[in-house]
Structure 1
Amino acid sequence: MDTTTFNTLCISFLTFQFLFYFVSHWFSAKVSSGFTHLSAEKQIEWNSRVVSTCHSLVVGTFGLYLFFFDEPTIADPLWGDPSLVTVNIAIASGYLISDLVIILFNWSVIGDKFFVVHHCAALYAYYFVMTDGVLAFVANFRLLAELSSPFVNQRWFFEALKYPKLSRANIINGLLMTVVFFVVRIAAIPPLYIFVYSVYGTEPYKRLGFLIQCSWICSCIVLDVMNVTWMIKISKGCIKVISLVRQEKAKTSLQNGKAD
């Protein structure tokens, strides 16, 4: 790992720690009066999700730009010059380490084994990008999954503030969350493994070495299993809300009919 990458990772880590411990509480109290009425435990999780949203918007937006316009990695997904992508990966890695620290120090409140596994698997995969400069395009492609996090976090914010489940804001966010999560985390799975199949056995693929080959595939499988599991839960919640909306409409229609 070169000095620039290491410094970016450290700055990212410190920035997200600063956001969690100092900025989020102040900002949240300013924009939402309901925040100050939450319990201390809820405020901890709220702050962690604010930081998560900030991270997602930064690396997701930057990643989307790189996905379409970073010519070196587009031309050579396995060995293309990873300079710009490495910056994004370092930012993401700094966040993941920061979030792991926050989770471990607040385990009784926000401890989650799935998140620990997710973060460790992602960090392990990103390590090879930052140290060996390989698979930059693939790593950035995986980072696009972060585009779904703001909607997931917003859903939690609405619940914490006790927004009605059938409120327009909740329903719109829920639908967007389901669609975006599916597009960036589930629909992205087939193209990834089709790409793996297309490069398997080629000379550039062989040059990766057995360790990186295995690490690449294994980390992707772990992350994808978790994404599918989360997608199932999100889909069930979305179907439940749609069902409630239909029941409410039917109930309203029946009441109107009786009134007539």
Structure 2
Amino acid sequence: MASFSPLVLSIAATSFVTFQCLFHFVSPWISAQFCPGYRRLSPRHTVEWNSRTVSTFHALIVGLFCLYILLFDNAVNEDPVWGDPSLVKINVAITCGYLISDMLLICYYWLAIGDKFFVIHHLAALYAYYYVLSIGMLPYFANFRLVAELSTPCVNQRWFFEVLGYPKKSLPNMVNGIAMTASFFLVRIAVMPMYYTRMYAVYGTEPFYRVTFGGRCAWMGPSFCLDIMNVMWMHKMARGCISVLRSPGKHRRTAFIKVWGVVLSSD
């Protein structure tokens, strides 16, 4: 019977405690120190603010680790089904600690941040990661899905601007909107051909048939469902950008000139 290694369990437990501390202590203190608007938030918004702060921190840590593994972990890249999953297990264990922590907070603060979709999402992710952490199968594909976390910081930043009262057409909001759309496209849409090409390449091979039926279901089913939703969300984002670009008004045109000026000057 498959089991978790002591290292995996300790990393997941440390991750859980760390994210709980970030939510209850670190985020409230830092936010109050550096963002005056935080003190004026309602209790409900304060809970969601701290939750999104933790989400952003997790996304940056795990997302950057994912890129490192994709670029430099030859064992996983050469054998995407059964390659040495050591680094991937560390990354996935961090994520599992976060998911359990976040799910606990969602249930405890249900009136503020309760969402059935997120509970289902977290449970489905934990089910899929069980096979990675216990058996070590499909490390490349498990790691690849986590790259999508790199679009999370801009999504959260959009909410921060909204709750702080920034106008939708303000320069910070528009710069973040462009960054959000671009990052979402790059890490969720543009990478699809690479992901499904690797999936097609291993389908029907001997390593593929060594994957348990439950592992295949946890791998393929969620992948297709998530990417269908990603395409729908991308379509919605693109329509929003086009709508703003086509909208009349000197103020909006001037704002976009400023936005692109900031983007180009940063290159």
**Quick check: TM above 0.5?**
yes
Show the counterpart of 2:216: 213
Which residue in 2 is equivalent to 1:94?
97
Gapped regions of structure 2 (runs ≥ 5): 256-267
Paired-residue identity, %: 52
Unmatched tracts of structure 1, length 5 or more: 253-260
- Do structure 1's residue 79 and structure 2's residue 82 form an aligned pair? yes
How far 1:11 sits from its partner (Å)? Answer: 0.6
- The structure-2 alpha-carbon separation of the partners of 1:40 and 1:114, relative to structure 1 and needing over 3 Å to count, comes to same
Residue 54 of structure 2 aligns with which residue? 51
- How far did residue 211 of structure 1 move? 2.1
For 1:243 and 1:105, the matched residues in 2 are separated by 44
1:108-127 CA distance string (max 9 Å, x none): 11122222222222221111
Show the counterpart of 2:146.
143
Partner of 2:33: 30
Pick from 219, 223, 231 the counterpart of residue 228 of structure 1.
231
- Partner SS, residue 126 of structure 1: helix
Deviation at 1:243, TM superposition (A): 4.0
RMSD: 1.8
**Deviations 1:36-91 (CA, angstroms, capped at 9, x unpaired):** 01111111100000000000110011111111001110111111101011000000
Q: Residue 259 of structure 2 aligns with which residue?
A: none
Residue number in structure 1 paired with 2:162:
159
Identify the residue that residue 69 of structure 2 maps to in structure 1. Answer: 66
TM-score using structure 2 length: 0.89
Distance 1:125 1:202 in 2: 21
Separation in structure 2 between the aligned mates of residue 120 and residue 247 of structure 1, nearest angstrom: 48
For 2:263, the equivalent position in structure 1 comes to none
Gap change, CA 1:245 and 1:17, over 3 Å in 2? farther
Q: What amino acid does structure 2 have at the position aligned with 1:237?
A: G
2: CA distance between counterparts of 1:118 and 1:241?
A: 32
Post-superposition Cα deviations, 1:207-250, rounded to whole Å, max 9, x if no partner, equal: 11222112210121232233234333433433344345756346
Q: Count how many residue pairs are aligned between Structure 1 and Structure 2.
A: 252
Instruction: State the match for 1:2 in structure 2.
Output: 5
SS of the residue 1:208 aligns to: coil
Q: 1:165·1:241 contact (CA, 8 Å) conserved in 2?
A: no
Pick one of 185, 206, 221 that aligns with 1:182: 185
